[in-house]
Chain A
Amino acid sequence: MNGAQLLLAAPEYWVLAMACVIMVVDLFLKEERRGIIHMLAMLTVVFAAIITLRHDYLVDGVLSMTAFEGSFIRDPMGDVLKVFSFVIMGLIFTYSKFYLRSFNMFRADFFTLSLFALLGVMLLISANSMLMIYLGLELISLSVYALVAFNPDSGRGTESAMKYFVLGSMASGMLLYGMSMIYGATGSLLLPEIAEAIRTQGADDILLIFGLVFVVVGIAFKFGAVPFHMWIPDVYEGAPPAVTLFISSVPKLAAFAMAYRFLSSGLGELQIHWQSMLAVLAVLSIILGNLAAIMQTNIKRMLAYSTISHMGFVFLGLLPGTAFGYGASMYYVIVYGIMSVASFGMIILLSARGVEAEHLDDFKGLNQRNPFYAAIMGLVMFSMAGVPPMVGFFAKLMVLKAVIDAGMMWLAITAVVFAVIGAFYYLRVIKYMYFDEPENETPIIAPVDFGAALALNGAMILGLGIFSSSLIAICMTSFGL
Chain B
Amino acid sequence: MNGTMNGFLLSILIWLPILGAVAVTLAGNQRPAVAKGLALLISAATFLLGLPLFFSFDTSTAAMQFVEYRPWIETFNIHYKLGVDGFSAPLILLTMLFGVLVVIAGWRSIQKNVNQYMAAFLVMEGLMIGVFAALDALLFYVFFEAMLIPMFLVIGIWGGPRRVYATIKFFLYTFLGSVFMLIGLIYLYIQSGTWDILAWHELPLSFTAQKWLFIGFLAAFAVKVPMFPVHTWLPDAHVEAPTGGSVVLAAIMLKIGGYGFIRFSLPITPDASAALDWLVIGLSLIAVVYIGFVALAQQDMKKLIAYSSISHMGFVTLGLFIAFSIYRKTGGVAGAALGVEGAMMQMISHGFISGALFLTVGVLYDRVHSRMIKDYGGVANTMPWFAMFAVFFLMANSGLPGTSGFVGEFMVILAAFQANFWFAFLAALTLILGAAYSLWLAKRVIFGAVVNHEVKSLKDVNSREVLVLGILAFAILFFGLWPQPLVDMMHASVDNLLQHIVQSKVI
What residues of chain A have their CB less than 8 Å away from a CB belonging to chain B? 367, 371, 382, 387-389, 393-394, 397-398, 400-401, 404-405, 409, 412-413, 416-417, 419-420, 423-424, 427-428, 430-431, 434-435, 468-469, 472-473, 476, 481
Return the CB mask of B141-173 against A: 1 if under 8 Å, else 0. 110011011001100110000011001100110
Within 8 Å by CB of B157, from A393, A401, A435, A481, lies A435
Q: Is B76 an interface residue (CB 8 A)?
A: yes
Known: A405-B190, A472-B73. A435 touches B164 (CB 8 A): yes
Contact in complex: A371, B182 (CB < 8 Å): no
Q: Which residues of B contact A400 (CB under 8 A)?
A: 182-183, 186
* B478: Cβ under 8 A from any A Cβ: no
B residues less than 8 Å from A423 (CB atoms): 171-172, 175
B421 part of interface (Cβ distance < 8 Å): no
B74 touches A435 (CB 8 A): no
B116 at the interface (CB under 8 A from A): yes
Check A393/B145 contact, CB under 8 A, given A404-B190, A427-B171, A481-B75.
Answer: yes
Interface size on B, as a range, is 35 or more
Asked if A397 and B152 sit within 8 Å, CB to CB, the answer is no
Q: Which residues of B contact A (CB under 8 A)?
A: 25, 29, 71-76, 113, 116, 138, 141-142, 145-146, 148-149, 152-153, 156-157, 163-164, 167-168, 171-172, 175-176, 179-180, 182-183, 186-187, 189-190
B75 touches A472 (CB 8 A): yes
The answer to whether B156 touches A435, judged by C-beta atoms less than 8 angstroms apart, is yes
* Least Cβ–Cβ distance between B121 and chain A, in angstroms: 16
* Nearest-neighbor residue (CB-CB) of B138 within chain A: A397
Q: Chain A interface mostly helix, strand, loop or mixed?
A: helix
For B71, the chain A residues whose CB sits under 8 A away are 469
Given the complex, which residues of A lie within 8 Å of B145, measured CB to CB? 387-388, 393
Inter-chain contact count A-B, CB under 8 Å?
92
Complex contacts, B25 vs chain A, CB 8 Å: 371
Docked-complex contact A416 and B183, CB < 8 angstroms: yes
B142–A401 CB distance below 8 A: no
Instruction: Report the Cα distance A56→B145, complex, angstroms.
Output: 42
Given known contacts A404-B183, A469-B71, what 16 new A-B pairs fall within 8 Å (CB)? A367-B157, A387-B145, A388-B141, A393-B145, A397-B138, A397-B182, A400-B182, A400-B186, A401-B76, A401-B190, A412-B183, A420-B176, A431-B156, A435-B163, A469-B72, A469-B75
Which of A416, A424, A435 interacts with B180 by CB under 8 Å? A416
User: With a CB–CB cut-off of 8 A, which chain A residues contact B76?
Assistant: 398, 401, 472
Determine which of B142, B171, B176 lies in contact with A388 in the assembled complex, contact meaning CB atoms within 8 Å.
B142
A393 — which chain B residues lie within 8 A by C-beta?
142, 145
Q: List 20 A-B contacts (CB under 8 A).
A: A367-B157, A388-B146, A389-B146, A400-B186, A401-B186, A404-B183, A404-B186, A409-B183, A413-B183, A416-B179, A416-B182, A420-B175, A420-B176, A420-B179, A427-B168, A434-B157, A435-B164, A468-B73, A472-B73, A473-B75
Q: Residues of B contacting A469 with CB < 8 Å?
A: 71-75
Specify the chain B residue showing the minimal Cβ separation from A374. B116
Sort A-B residue pairs by CB-CB distance and give the 10 closest, nearest first. A388-B142, A416-B179, A435-B156, A469-B73, A420-B176, A473-B75, A388-B145, A476-B75, A401-B186, A404-B186
Whether A434 contacts B75 in the complex (CB less than 8 A), given A387-B146, A388-B145, comes out as: no
Which chain B residue shows the least CB distance to A419?
B179
Give the residues in chain A near B156, CB-CB below 8 Å: 430-431, 434-435
Do B29 and A371 have beta carbons less than 8 Å apart? yes
Within the complex, what minimum Cβ distance (angstroms) separates B337 from chain A?
Answer: 35
Whether A387 touches B164, Cβ cut-off 8 Å, given contacts A371-B116, A423-B172, A435-B157, is no
Within 8 Å CB of B75, what residues of A? 469, 472-473, 476, 481
Considering the chains assembled together, what is the distance between the CA atoms of A424 and B171 in angstroms?
9
Contacts of B73 in A (CB 8 A): 394, 468-469, 472
* Given contact pairs A469-B73, A473-B74, A476-B75, A389 touches B183 in the complex (Cβ within 8 A): no
Min CB–CB distance B324 → chain A (angstroms): 28
Q: Which residues of A contact B29 (CB under 8 A)?
A: 371
A59 to chain B, nearest CB (A): 25
Minimum CB–CB distance for A280 against chain B, Å: 21
- Once A387-B149, A389-B146, A469-B74 are accepted as A-B contacts, the answer to whether A417 and B163 lie under 8 Å apart by CB is no
Q: Of B113, B168, B190, which contacts A424 at CB under 8 A?
A: B168
Q: Which residues of A contact B116 (CB under 8 A)?
A: 367, 371
Q: What's the Cα separation between A428 and B76 when bound, in Å?
A: 33
Q: Name the B residues within 8 Å of A434 (CB-CB).
A: 153, 156-157
Residue among A393, A430, A435 facing the most chain B CB atoms (10 A cut-off)? A435
Rounded to whole angstroms, the CA-CA distance of A65 and B246 in the bound complex is 61
How far does the Cβ of A93 sit from chain B's closest Cβ, in whole Å?
30
In the bound complex, residues from chain A placing their C-beta under 8 Å from that of B163 are 435
Please tell me which one of the listed residues A409, A419, A431 contacts residue B168 in the complex, with CB atoms under 8 A apart: A431
